[in-house]
Structures are given as C-alpha cells and as structure tokens.
Amino acid sequence: MLQKFITHLGNIVLSHLLFSVYVNDMIQKLCDKSLGCYVGDIYCGCVMYANDLVLVSASVSLLQRMIDTYCEEAEYLDMKFNA
C-alpha cells in the first residue's frame, strides 16, 4: 500500500514538472513573437497561477494571434484546453 502511494505521489510531482516544461515553451513562443503586453522590458502577456493561464493583450487582433499561436503549439504537443 505504501509503495502504491509513493508511486502515485511521484507521478503527481512529475506531472506538474512536465506541465511546467510544456507551458514554459508555449509562453516563450509568445514572448519571442512579441505578442502580449510588456511593462518596460518585462513580458507580462501571459499570467499563470498553478494550471490557470491568462493571456493579456492591448488589442483583440493581437489577442487572437496569441490564441492562434497557443493553439498551434498545443496541437503540436497534443494538449487540449478547457475554458
């Protein structure tokens, strides 16, 4: 029983780590394309807390480009979004 719990706990830790790696790549793509908002030199176009993510843009057309970029990358990574 204890071994099963430890394995489950290890999978939880690993899943969060892998999620962070995937999401970091997606955020980096947005930043590389200069999509989203900046405060000075600091990129603030994507705000994340746990597994929640908010895209921040100054215009609707740039927001759509951010969503399109995110969807393309998610498709490549075989990830799905919910709202």
Give the tens place of pLDDT for each residue, 19-73.
Answer: 777 778 888 888 899 899 999 988 899 888 777 888 999 999 999 999 999 888 8
β-strands 38-39, 42-43: how paired? antiparallel
Rounded to two decimals, the pTM is 0.70
Distance, CA of 64 to chain centre: 16
User: Dmax of the chain from CA atoms?
Assistant: 53
pLDDT of residue 50: 73
Tokens 């490549």 correspond to 76
pLDDT at 3 over 70: no
Alpha carbons 6 and 75: distance in angstroms, whole number: 32
